[in-house]
Each structure stands twice: as C-alpha cells, then as structure tokens.
C-alpha cells in the first residue's frame, strides 16, 4: 500500500535530518558571502591582481593597473551579461542547426510542427516560399539563422521587428549589434586588461551584447522551437513534486534545450517502452520536467512540471525518480551528492555539459529517438531498484494553464475576429487594465523559497496590472495557484477580474522558458504597433522584474529590456553596488539614453509598487485617465 503523502516542506526536513546536503545547506555554509564580490569590487581579469577596492575608503581605491571601482564593477557586469547572452544564444544556435539538419534529411526524429511559423519567419528572412517543400525552406532558414550568428557588419534579421523608435535610439547610440557572436567576443575583448576603462562606454557595449541575445539569439531559439515543436496554444497541466507517481517509472528531464526533452516525451509514449515498464512491475511511465526544458514541453505537450531550479535536488530526494536526464544550464553539480543516497540514475547528454559522477549518454540530433529510447530503457530497468522505504512523494500539486504567446495573446483577450492587440490596448486606455508587467527569472536560496515571485505578482494583479511570466518565476506562481482563471476572482483587482471573467484567462499568463522572454519583446512591439499607448516600448505602461534572480542569463535579459526602454526591478543585490557612479548610471542616467532603467528592491511588495508607480507615470505621460478601480496596498514586510 502506498505511504501517506508528505508535504514538500517535510521532504526538506527529511533531507536535513538525514544529513543529505542540498543547496540551502551549501548556501548557509558560504555565509558570510564575499563582500567584495557582492559589491562588484574585486578584479581578477589579469595577473597584476587579483585586486580589490576598499568600500570604506580606507584601503586601496584603485587596482594595480589603476582601474577604479567604476571600471572594475562595469567590467565585471559586462562579462556577466556576455556570458548570459552566450548561453541563450548558443541554445538558439542548436535549434537553428537542427532545423537545418532536418531540412537536409539528417534529423528524422524531428518534423515541421508549425508550417505557418516556418513560412512567416522564412518570409522575414527574405526566403522564397512559393512552390517549395518545407524541407527546402528549412534548409534556407536554418542556414540564414546560423548566418545571423556570424555576421560582421549588420544586425541580425529580427532587429527589423523592433519598434522604429527603439531602432533609431540604438543606431544613434551605436549599439546595434553586428551579428550575435561578435558583440559577445567584443565584450570579452574590451573588458581585458588595458582596454575599455570608461564605465559608461562599457555599459553601452553591455547593452549591445544583451540586445543581441533578446532580439536575436533568444528570439531564434523561440521561433525555431515553435517551427520544430509547434507553436504553443493555451494548455492545462499540473505542477509540483506531487506529479510524480509512486507506482510508475518516474523520469525527470532537466535543463533547457527542447531538442532532447521533446523526443524523450515521444519515447515514453512508445508501446514497446510501456510494455517494458509493465514487465518491471510499474503501472506506466511518468515524465516530468525541471527548469526551462520543463516549460518547453509543458507549453507544447502539456507535460507536467516537477519543479523549478530550487526543486531539482528535492525531486531526487522523493526516492521515486528512476532517472534524471540533463542537458545544459541551471544543473547543480550537487545533484550527484543527493543521488548517492537513492537509486536515481543521473544521465548527462550534452558534450558541452558533463558532470563528475553522472553517466554520460551523448545526444545526437541525427539519431535522437534512438538515444531517447536508450535513456528511457535505462530508467525503466532501474525501477526494481527503487527502495519503497525511501519513497516520500510530497502531496502538493496544482493545476495551471500555460502556452500563451505574443501571437495568440490577442485571441485569448477577445480579439478572435480581428486578430489584433486592440482589446488589450483598449483595456489599458480605458483603465480597466493599469498596464502589463513581466515577472520572470530564477528562484534563489537567498530568498525564502520562491515566495518573492508570488508576493510581487499577487500585489501587481491586485492593482490591475496584467502579469506575463516565463522561467522559474512562472513555475513558482503556478505552484501557488496563480496561473488558473479562478485566481482572478481570488487575487486580482476588479479591472483584471472583469477582463479574465469575460474571456476565461488567468490573470497571470505563462509565456514559456527564459529564451521566450523574446515573446515579451514582441508582445510589447505589437502593443506599440496597435497604437494609442505610445510610439516606443519606452512609452508603454509596462515594466519587468526578476525578484529572485541568480543566473548571468538574468543580467543579459534585464539589460536587453532596459536597452529596449523598460524599467527592470531586480530583487536582490546587483554586483555593482560598490560603485556610486555605476549605481547612478544603471538606476538614473541610462534612462536618459534608452528610456529604460534598473531598480533594486528586496521587498517584493515594495518592488511591485515601484512598478505600479512607474506604470502610472507612463499612463500620465500618455494622458490616459486614472485606472477604473482602486485597490489597497498590501503592507510591506
Ligand atoms: O533559464 S529562470 S533558474 S531555469 S536561469 Fe535557470 Fe533562472 Fe530558472 Fe531557465 Ni532562466
């Protein structure tokens, strides 16, 4: 008989009492964290150092080369943004390459699942469509997308999608990226010893690098994924560790690139695999995702989500996971420690991401389904090794709706017959919706497990700010029941309630994985094009936030939104706070050049009110009236 289900919190306690080390213990063991690193005041870019600046003004104020706090913190931040842009863009490159391989007939496990998107995007790239087979178009489009990465003197094709006003601003600032790879290489070069020392100039380079991520690398990842795996539609599923089953083979897919996860889902639905699972005593095969690859297969195939970044070790600690299959990004090397207490097989699959202690089964696009079946077979064969005494699957799981995109959002907002953003813009103009906020990004053990996302989002919708989400932030809010239509009646202000009740959508819309932040850029652009709420993204009543950010990818995302004219609120320290000039630049001066800026606020309720105030300021500048309904501010803790 199955054991009584425990709570997720209890599982956490079990880990602690059994001495199973997780991210929270390792985080505590690092306390106090390096103050120089936190402030951005250490430099190890050359062997004159490592150098550090004394934040109290008593010790050295420059490094051995003479670089001061402004230069050092700017260079550090620039390198973070370059690494984040590289990570997302490399993801985009892999999908574009698979599109090409598919067209060449070398990747038979894939298909064109959205012919409409293939043709639309090919048209944007100037590729001939009429009278040609999908495969031929895929070859040309795959090649053209890959060419965007290596361009030397022109912007990637998707830059034409941005509002004219933003394109003009970037041109005047000379921050239109040449290709995708070049600005990343340039950023590494100009932050080397003895190159760029002017913090303002370094920040312009940082914006150029980050723009190449948002408007090209990530956007290619999103569009090519839609072509190969299908353009998402609103879809219902479930989230949290309670989606694991105590009588089935449980396989977790963790990482980011859907090339593997999508094919593994197919393999688990194979009759032969199901028969094998039953022969081992299991009732079936459950597949669930962790991190952004979870979002990819959730929004296209309705696959349930086991958890976000912070839940990866807890998933193994349920004792009920036969295999955790990882590709790349956000995978904790600490997984191997937790797995050593259980029967779980950890399988790495990508040549660029191997982990000591994990079995490696290399994934190849050319024989994707074969590799996927090999992995699923290993998981099934591991099922009899499960120790029932160690199984503790938490009871919590929650319904959610995912699968919103920049293209389908108008449809769900009631524009079915017109195919425009008019209903959204009209709701903003009338004050029924105050504005739109993108709340995205990681979860972080520095903050009480994922609560900041939920608190900020609840406060925003309460004040009639429509929220769009991606990444782990979307999963955190989904666990709290915010991504279902009924959440509008429980948590939203009257204006959002009226909109959601009329069209049956949740007040918080899940737009996908972290590369899908590019969908938010397009949604903003569509709002501008629809008219009536500004000529550029900088004029829209919108803002973004990452209340628990931790990854360098979040820095790149934040910068491409700031460079595109948005306010971005981060919830924990930004590694430039040791330089007054840098802090002033990112929170004030940059607004004069791009219209966007950063704000930092640990308290998620106060963070929500920074956004609300900003949206109201933009509404006033647009001469829009007051919002229709007033809500009370929740008391900040
Ligand atoms: O790319 S939100 S913890 S999983 S980095 Fe990682 Fe952050 Fe999650 Fe997705 Ni994005």
Q: pLDDT tens digits, residue range 97-126?
A: 999 999 999 999 999 999 999 999 999 999
Return phi, psi of residue 368, to 5°. -60, -50
- The tens digit of pLDDT for each residue in 535-586 reads 999 999 999 999 999 999 999 999 999 999 999 999 988 999 999 999 999 9
Ligand 1 atom with the smallest distance to the CA of 515 is 1
DSSP string over 541-602: SEEEEETT--SHHHHHHHHHHHHTT-EEEESS--TTTT-HHHHHIIIIIHHHHHS-EEEE-S
- 309 in contact with ligand 1, CB cutoff 6 A: yes
User: Nearest-CA neighbor of 79 among 202, 241, 171, 231?
Assistant: 202
Instruction: Output the CA angle 307-312-313, nearest 5 degrees.
Output: 135
CA nearest to 627, candidates 427, 431, 436, 463? 431
Q: Which is the closest atom of ligand 1 to the Cα of 550?
A: 7
Q: Which two tokens stand for residue 589?
A: 């001066």
Whole-number pLDDT of residue 4:
60
| Structural contact between residues 179 and 151, judged by C-beta atoms closer than 8 angstroms | yes
Q: Which two tokens stand for residue 507?
A: 């007040």
Name, in order, each residue with C-beta under 8 angstroms of 334's C-beta and a sequence gap of 6 or more.
Answer: 21, 22, 23, 26, 313
For the domain covering 241-390, report its CATH number. Answer: 3.40.50.2030
Beta carbon of 87 within 6 Å of any ligand 1 atom: no
Residue 537 to residues 132, 533, 594, Cα–Cα distance (Å): 37, 9, 10
Nearest to 387 by CA among 448, 328, 330, 341: 341
Domain ranges for the chain:
81-229, 241-390, 405-636
Q: Which residues pair with 43 in a beta bridge?
A: 51
User: What is the token pair recorded at 382?
Assistant: 């591991």
pTM of the model: 0.97
For residue 634, count CB atoms less than 10 angstroms from its CB and return exposed for 0-12, middle for 13-18, buried for 19 or more.
Answer: middle
Residues 6+ positions from 126 with CB-CB distance below 8 Å: none
Q: What angle do CA 50, 52, 54 make, to 5 degrees?
A: 160
The confidence band for 410, taking pLDDT boundaries of 50, 70 and 90, is confident
Q: Confirm or reject: Cβ of 514 under 6 Å from ligand 1.
A: yes
* Residue closest by Cα to atom 10 of ligand 1: 514
pLDDT digits (tens, 9 = 90+) for 19-29: 999 999 999 99
Nearest ligand 1 atom, CA 88:
1
- The rounded Å distance from CA 553 to ligand 1 centre is 8
Radius of gyration of the chain (CA): 24
Selected residue with higher pLDDT from 626 and 304: 304
- The Å distance, Cα 469 to ligand 1 centre, comes to 12
Q: How far is the CA of 397 from the centre of ligand 1 (A)?
A: 21
Instruction: Please tell me the CATH code under which domain 405-636 is placed.
Output: 3.40.50.2030
Angle, CA of 464, 465 and 466, to the nearest 5° = 110
- Phi, psi values for residue 130, rounded to 5°: -55, 135
Task: Pick from 328, 450, 514, 570 the residue to mutate for probing ligand 1's pocket: most ligand atoms within 8 Å of its CB.
Answer: 514
Q: Measuring from atom 4 of ligand 1, which residue has the nearest CA?
A: 291
Check if 471 has its Cβ closer than 6 Å to any atom of ligand 1: yes
Domains 241-390 and 405-636 share a fold: yes
Q: β-strands 465-469, 42-43: how paired?
A: unpaired
How remote is the CA of residue 619 from the centroid of ligand 1, in Å?
32
pLDDT of residue 450: 64
Q: Is the C-beta atom of 476 inside 6 A of ligand 1?
A: no
Q: For residues 352 and 341, what is the distance between their CA atoms, to the nearest angstrom?
A: 27
Domain covering 81-229, topology:
Substrate Binding Domain Of Dnak; Chain:A; Domain 2 (1.20.1270)
Copy the structure tokens of residue 171.
């041109």
Instruction: Provide the pLDDT for residue 635.
Output: 73
* Residue 592 neighbours by CB under 8 Å, 6+ apart: none
Assess whether the C-beta atom of 551 lies below 6 angstroms from ligand 1.
yes
Ligand 1 centre and the CA of 256: distance in Å? Answer: 8
**Which of 221, 255, 256, 292 is the best mutation target for the ligand 1 pocket, counting ligand atoms within 8 Å of the beta carbon and taking the most?**
292
Query: How many angstroms separate the alpha carbon of residue 515 from the centre of ligand 1?
Result: 9
Q: Distance (Å, rounded) from C-alpha 331 to C-alpha 353?
A: 9
- Print the SS3 string covering 502-522: HHCCCCEEECCCHHHHHHHHH
How far apart are alpha carbons 86 and 179 in whole angstroms? Answer: 12
Q: Is the CB of 475 under 6 A from ligand 1?
A: no
Cα angle 133-372-311, degrees, rounded to a multiple of 5: 115
Q: What is the mean pLDDT of the chain?
A: 95
d(CA 551, CA 84): 8
- The per-residue pLDDT for 355 is 97
Task: Give me the pLDDT at residue 1, please.
Answer: 40
The pLDDT score that the predictor gives to residue 637 is 58
Ligand 1 midpoint to CA 93 (Å): 18
Q: Which of 330, 547, 560 is the best mutation target for the ligand 1 pocket, counting ligand atoms within 8 Å of the beta carbon and taking the most? A: 330
- Residue 221 Cβ < 6 Å to ligand 1: no
Residue 406's pLDDT is 94
- pLDDT tens by residue, 186-217: 999 999 999 999 999 999 999 999 999 999 99
pLDDT tens for 258-301 read 999 999 999 999 999 999 999 999 999 999 999 999 999 999 99
30 Cα–ligand 1 center, Å: 22
- Measured in Å, residue 290 CA sits from the centre of ligand 1 at 10
pLDDT range class, residue 2, cuts 50, 70, 90: very low
The pLDDT score that the predictor gives to residue 187 is 98
- Nearest-CA residue for ligand 1 atom 3 is 442
> What's the CA-to-centroid distance between 514 and ligand 1, angstroms?
6
Q: How crowded is the C-beta side of 313, counted as CA atoms within 13 Å?
A: 22
How many whole angstroms separate alpha carbon 527 and alpha carbon 523?
6
* Ligand 1 lined by 291 (C-beta under 6 Å): yes
pLDDT at 629 over 90: no
If you average pLDDT over residues 418-440, what whole number do you get?
91
Instruction: State whether the beta carbon of 292 lies less than 6 angstroms from ligand 1.
Output: yes
For a mutational test of ligand 1's pocket, the pick from 222, 311, 441, i.e. the residue with the most ligand atoms closer than 8 A to its C-beta, is: 441
Closest protein CA for atom 6 of ligand 1: 330
User: Is 438 in a helix, a strand, or coil?
Assistant: strand
In tens, the pLDDT along 340-362 reads: 999 999 999 999 999 999 999 99
What pLDDT digit, counting tens, does each position of 27-57 carry? 999 999 999 999 999 999 999 999 999 999 9
């Amino acid at each position: 008989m199955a054991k009584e289900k425990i709570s997720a919190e209890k599982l956490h306690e079990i880990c602690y009492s059994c001495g199973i080390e997780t991210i929270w213990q390792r985080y505590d063991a690092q306390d106090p964290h390096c103050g120089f690193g936190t402030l951005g005041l250490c430099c190890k870019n050359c062997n004159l150092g490592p150098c550090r600046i004394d934040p109290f003004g008593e010790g050295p104020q420059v490094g051995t080369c003479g670089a001061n706090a402004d230069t050092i913190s700017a260079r550090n931040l620039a390198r973070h943004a370059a690494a984040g842009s590289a990570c997302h863009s490399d993801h985009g490159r892999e999908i574009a390459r698979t599109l090409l391989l598919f067209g060449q007939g070398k990747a038979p496990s894939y298909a064109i699942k959205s012919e409409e998107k293939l043709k639309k995007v090919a048209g944007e790239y100037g590729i001939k469509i009429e009278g040609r087979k999908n495969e031929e178009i895929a070859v040309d489009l795959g090649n053209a997308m890959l060419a965007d990465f290596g361009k030397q003197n022109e912007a990637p094709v998707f830059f034409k999608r941005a509002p004219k006003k933003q394109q003009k601003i970037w041109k005047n600032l000379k921050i239109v990226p040449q290709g995708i790879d070049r600005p990343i290489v340039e950023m590494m070069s100009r932050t080397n010893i003895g190159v760029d020392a002017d913090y303002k100039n370094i920040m312009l380079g940082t914006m150029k690098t980050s723009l190449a991520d948002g408007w090209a690398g990530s956007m290619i990842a999103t569009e090519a994924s839609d072509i190969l795996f299908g353009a998402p539609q609103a879809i219902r599923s479930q989230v949290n560790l309670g989606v694991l089953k105590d009588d089935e083979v449980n396989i977790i897919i963790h990482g980011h690139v859907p090339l593997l996860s999508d094919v593994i889902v197919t393999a688990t639905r194979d009759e032969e695999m199901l028969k094998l699972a039953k022969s081992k005593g299991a009732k079936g095969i459950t597949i669930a995702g962790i991190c952004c690859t979870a979002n990819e297969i959730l929004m296209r195939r309705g696959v349930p989500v086991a958890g976000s970044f912070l839940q990866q070790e807890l998933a193994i600690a349920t004792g009920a996971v036969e295999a955790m299959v990882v590709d790349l990004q956000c995978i904790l090397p600490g997984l191997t420690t937790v797995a050593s207490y259980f029967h779980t097989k950890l399988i790495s699959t990508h040549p660029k991401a191997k982990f000591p202690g994990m079995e490696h089964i290399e994934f190849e696009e050319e024989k994707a389904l074969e590799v996927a079946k090999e992995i699923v077979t290993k998981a099934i064969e591991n099922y009899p090794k499960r120790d029932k005494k160690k199984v503790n699957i938490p009871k919590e799981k929650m319904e959610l709706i995912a699968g919103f995109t920049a293209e389908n959002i108008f449809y769900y907002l009631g524009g079915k017959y017109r195919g425009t953003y008019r209903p959204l813009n009209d709701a903003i103009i009338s004050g029924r919706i105050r504005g739109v906020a993108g709340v995205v990004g990681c979860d972080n053990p520095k903050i009480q497990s994922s609560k900041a996302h939920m608190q900020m989002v609840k406060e925003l919708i309460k004040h009639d700010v429509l929220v769009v989400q991606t990444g782990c932030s979307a999963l955190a809010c989904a666990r709290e029941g915010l991504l279902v239509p009924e959440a509008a009646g429980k948590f939203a202000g009257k204006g959002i309630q009226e909109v959601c009740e009329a069209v049956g959508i949740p007040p918080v819309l899940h737009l996908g994985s972290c590369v899908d932040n590019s969908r938010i850029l397009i949604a903003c652009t569509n709002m501008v094009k629809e008219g009536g709420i500004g000529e550029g993204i900088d004029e829209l009543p919108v803002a973004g936030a990452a209340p628990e950010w931790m990854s360098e990818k979040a820095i790149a995302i934040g910068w491409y939104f700031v460079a595109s004219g948005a306010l971005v609120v981060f919830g924990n320290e930004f590694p430039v706070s040791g330089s007054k000039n840098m802090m002033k630049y990112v929170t004030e001066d940059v607004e004069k050049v791009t219209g966007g800026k950063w704000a930092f606020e640990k308290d998620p309720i106060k963070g929500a009110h920074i956004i609300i105030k900003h949206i109201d300021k933009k509404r006033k500048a647009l001469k829009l009236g007051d919002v229709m309904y007033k809500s009370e501010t929740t008391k900040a803790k």
